[in-house]
Structure 1
Amino acid sequence: MSDPTAADLALALRLADLADEISLSRFQAMDFRVETKPDLTPVSDVDLSVEREVRRVLAADRPGDAVLGEEFGGEPVDGRVWVIDPIDATKNFVRGVPIWATLIALLDAGEPVIGVVSAPALASRWWAGRGLGSWTARLGAAPRRNQVSAVRNLSDASLSYSGLGGWGTRVSDFLNLTKAVWRTRAYGDFFSHVLVAEGAVDISAEPEVSLWDTAALVVIVTEAGGRVTGVDGGPSPAASSILCTNAWLHDAALSHLAGSARRGG
């Protein structure tokens, strides 16, 4: 009997191939259109084209599954739902920065079981299936299994984030966390979190995210031995923020980020 999770993962990887073909062919093109969504974030015609193609294939191959995408919406359901971010880091994409990716996830009863992050401009892809491990491939190299780091002290840890915006009343707590670690870098967006899965970074955090930003990341990080919650410790990917760690450092990071809550601020 075939493994249904493996079959779903194979489909997700095929969807990523299709997305890469569309997005990479248009990256740094001079003719694509950029519009502004109601939340003032940019959306390009490439975002729309990628999500349309992914939805087309899912409608044919998994007609009984629901689909939730950043550009064309949908509603979370109790059963199986594919969650699509056609271009994560669209602002990078439209400015010619190569750190952007298509994120594809499958949730079953709200739990991520499949995650794929494909970054063709970086010639890199990360993927995982529940019980199947977490993997990375670079162009021309064989896939290798992801494993989070074994760093156990904040003072030895590397922290990556997307920026200082969005932290609100937690900004002082976040800055305190940055002072407690060995090294900080703002790799940003999906890249911070997949680097935790690889063991290259020990902690990553973002204060404001949506389901399509995080669903694929949860299974990639956890299958690599890491832990993922919101910055307040709430369950992910349902949380509106994300904290990824190598698991050893999670409680310490949460403690720093909960400082204002403990003070009543």
Structure 2
Amino acid sequence: MTASYADDLALALELADLADRVSLGRFRAVDLEIRTKPDRTPVTEADLATERAIRDRLAAARPDDGIIGEEFGTEGTTSRQWIIDPIDGTANFLRGVPVWGTLIALAIDGEPVVGVVSAPAMGRRWWASRGDGAWTVDAPGTTAAAAPATAGATDAPQPAPRRIAVSSVAALDDASLSFQSLAQWRDAGYLDRLLALSERVWRDRAYGDLWSYMLLAEGVIDIAGEFDVKVYDLAALIPIVEEAGGRFTSITGERGPGNGSALATNGLLHDAVLDALR
């Protein structure tokens, strides 16, 4: 593990344990509170409670770091910023679809260097730190520091993490594409180009949200793209995709999470996809 990020990654994984307990406890709750934000997107009580819990822990563990969160905005202006999406896939969460999760990133001078994606309803977690590769584990348990003590309890065996890597697919006609939703591409003025690209690839699907990018990092699909995304939607994904050997830019080729769109590939296909979407 890269020594300079070891403690930060450990904290990010602890935050994910905390987030999982808060969010999963309200998943499919019959009395779940839901409201609509000014941008017409839904937010649930679980989104708010999860982000509050993460912020409270960061305030204690990293009081000098800044925070950017979807629900409660930005705190601090330091070079180190934690970027949080408490529940990525809120629409799935509120309908009972298990494809959702918490995204936690640490960015230094705007560059995401640590990323954790935890999807407790799917029993999956992914993470990466710069220089240490990308990893996943099935049915992650809580860390000893975060889990409540139970008298007489014994530690259950935990699945071993495994390193992940993108595919080696090098031709568009062999590639699998995930595009999030047709409406996004239509509203961005790119629907015709998406449809043309879909005619060139082997297979197209809309897996959606964090799931597309984690499938890509595992080498299961080869291209993922979307529009109308914010920094907290993408920051945690970037280290995982790139440490798995992939490439992550905007639809028009800019690096970084703040460009309003995302294009992730296995790297081998990236220039061809950029050309197809121009």
What is the TM-score when the length of structure 1 is the normalising length?
A: 0.95
Equivalence for 2:237: 217
Question: Is 2:274 aligned against 1:254?
Answer: yes
Deviation, 1:4, is 3.1
Question: Is 2:110 aligned against 1:110?
Answer: yes
Equivalence for 1:237: 257
Equivalence for 1:25: 25
Query: Would the alpha carbon gap of residues 226 and 77 (structure 1) be closer, same or farther in structure 2, given more than 3 Å must change?
Result: farther
Deviation, 1:236, is 2.2
Equivalent residue of 2:85, what SS? strand
Equivalence for 2:150: none
Question: Is 2:138 aligned against 1:157?
Answer: no
Q: Which amino acid aligns with 1:118?
A: S
Q: Which amino acid aligns with 1:224?
A: A
Of residues 143, 160, 163, the one that matches 1:142 is 160
Q: Which amino acid aligns with 2:168?
A: A
* 1: CA distance, partners of 2:232 / 2:189: 25
* 1: CA distance, partners of 2:67 / 2:75: 8
Once the two structures are superposed, the pairs formed by residues 47-196 of structure 1 within 5 Å of their partners are: 47-74=47-74, 77=77, 79-139=79-139, 141-167=159-185, 168-196=188-216
Q: Which amino acid aligns with 1:180?
A: R
Question: Is 2:52 aligned against 1:34?
Answer: no
* 1: CA distance, partners of 2:239 / 2:130: 7
Equivalent residue of 2:204, what SS? strand
Partner deviation per Cα, 1:16-58 (whole Å, 9 max, x = no partner): 0000001111100011200000110000000000000000000
Q: Which amino acid aligns with 1:183?
A: R
Query: Would the alpha carbon gap of residues 75 and 52 (structure 1) be closer, same or farther in structure 2, given more than 3 Å must change?
Result: closer
* 2: CA distance, partners of 1:234 / 1:78: 23
Equivalence for 1:201: 221
Equivalent residue of 2:214, what SS? helix
Q: Which amino acid aligns with 2:181?
A: G
Q: Which amino acid aligns with 1:82?
A: W
Equivalence for 2:14: 14
Equivalent residue of 1:51, what SS? helix
* 2: CA distance, partners of 1:83 / 1:178: 32
* 2: CA distance, partners of 1:171 / 1:187: 17
Aligned length in residues: 257
Q: Which amino acid aligns with 2:93?
A: F
Judge conservation of contact 1:78–1:110 (CA < 8 Å) in 2.
no
Equivalent residue of 2:127, what SS? strand
Partner deviation per Cα, 1:188-221 (whole Å, 9 max, x = no partner): 0110011110000100001220000000000000
* 2: CA distance, partners of 1:54 / 1:235: 27
Unaligned runs of 5+ in 1: 259-265
* 1: CA distance, partners of 2:31 / 2:227: 33
Q: Which amino acid aligns with 2:226?
A: E
Q: Which amino acid aligns with 1:143?
A: P
Partner deviation per Cα, 1:116-174 (whole Å, 9 max, x = no partner): 00000000000000111100111253111010000000000001121011223211011
Deviation, 1:78, is 5.7
Equivalent residue of 1:135, what SS? strand
Judge conservation of contact 1:88–1:100 (CA < 8 Å) in 2.
yes
Higher mean alpha-carbon deviation, 2-11 vs 235-244, is at 2-11
* 2: CA distance, partners of 1:246 / 1:82: 26
Equivalence for 1:261: none
